[in-house]
Amino acid sequence: MDDAYEDTGGGSAVDQVVAQIRELIDADGLTVGDKLPTERELCERFATSRNTVREAMRMLKAYGIVDVRPKVGATIVDQRMNRALDIFSFNVAEVSRKTFDDIQGFRELIETGTALAIFDAATPDDLARLREINAQMVQARSVVEASEQDFRFHTELIAMTGNRSILDVYGIMKPVILRIMQRGKTRRIIEGETYREHEEILKAIEASDNLAYQYLMRTHLRAGQVTFAEPPGAPAAKPGVPRT
């Protein structure tokens, strides 16, 4: 879907630029309020395209690391929880099958376990807003943008429970969840499978059909499993039985 996301053996071009920006921040001792070099300077410094730099900045903005404004450029806005950011923001290219299973297993517990609370809270306006987010995902210009809308869909769903603690945890996990969402994504998958799965989940909420919702959400969260290699020494999954 985007040349910047072609894997060159060391991660995508965007992953590499994100890592290089991290090194730049560390090497120059930059902190909150400091500006990063301009887009043109970053292109020259890292010998990469403007599109790749823009996608890297979009990713960093999504993670809450920088704020990007026209005519101002990129400014570092947050360095809270540095260790968590180290794990989730900058090493997301290393997402493994074990990480996928752990993260999606956690999400499955949360997003199916809150079903009844979601059913009780959901209003027609809530469902209309979720459908609009789903449509924006399809209209996104890149994998990064589409994944941001995908993540927004799920966090808006959880927000209906009124549980701020869960939303805070999802905020910390956002970078690795986004990377999982991006893995293997193509325009066909976004416009077809992901969009349809979201729509079926919304129909189950409208019908207060807990059984259908549980099945649809589990299937949806496990859908990307095939794009992650089995960890070394892991037993082979039985045919037809998804690993969690």
User: d(Cα 212, Cα 178) in Å, to the nearest integer?
Assistant: 25
176/81 same-domain check: no
Q: How many CB atoms sit inside 10 A of residue 221's CB?
A: 22
Nearest CA to 14 among 46, 47, 42, 53? 53
64/119 same-domain check: no
29/138 same-domain check: no
For residue 61, being part of any structural domain is answered with yes
Dihedral over alpha carbons 25, 26, 27, 30 (to 10 degrees): 50
Burial of 128 (0-12, 13-18, 19+ CB in 10 A): exposed
Nearest CA to 145 among 39, 62, 243, 26? 62
- pLDDT value at position 232? 54
Q: Which of 85, 106, 136 is the last residue of a domain?
A: 85
Q: Which amino acid is at 190?
A: I
157/70 same-domain check: no
118/198 same-domain check: yes
For residue 78, being part of any structural domain is answered with yes
For residue 238, being part of any structural domain is answered with no
Tokens of 169: 């945890």
- pLDDT value at position 1? 42
101/185 same-domain check: yes
For residue 219, being part of any structural domain is answered with yes
What integer best gives the mean pLDDT of the chain? 81
Tokens of 110: 């949360």
The DSSP output letter for 37 is P
User: d(Cα 39, Cα 154) in Å, to the nearest integer?
Assistant: 32
133/61 same-domain check: no
Q: String of b and e for 132-148 (b: at least 16 CB within 10 Å)?
A: ebbeebeebebbbbbbb
Mean pLDDT of 199-217: 96
For residue 122, being part of any structural domain is answered with yes
66/106 same-domain check: no
pLDDT tens by residue, 100-114: 888 899 999 999 999
219/103 same-domain check: yes
For residue 91, pLDDT beyond 90: no
pLDDT tens by residue, 134-188: 999 988 888 888 889 999 999 999 999 998 888 888 887 888 888 888 876 776 6
Range in 10-14, 127-131, 147-151, 156-160 with the lowest mean pLDDT? 10-14
Query: Quick check: pTM over 0.75?
Result: no
Residue 113 belongs to a domain with what CATH number? 1.20.120.530
110/209 same-domain check: yes
For residue 129, being part of any structural domain is answered with yes
128/214 same-domain check: yes
Within 8 A by CB and 6+ apart from 174, the residues are 62, 63, 64, 88, 151
User: What percent of the chain is modeled with pLDDT above 90?
Assistant: 38
Domain of 32, in residue numbers: 3-85
For residue 56, pLDDT beyond 60: yes
Q: Measured at the alpha carbon of residue 235, what is the angle toward residues 233 and 241, in degrees to the nearest 5?
A: 150
Structural domain count, the chain: 2
Reduced to 3 states (helix: H, G, I; strand: E, B; else coil), residue 52 is: helix
For residue 59, being part of any structural domain is answered with yes
- pLDDT value at position 235? 53
31/102 same-domain check: no
More confident residue, 196 or 88: 196
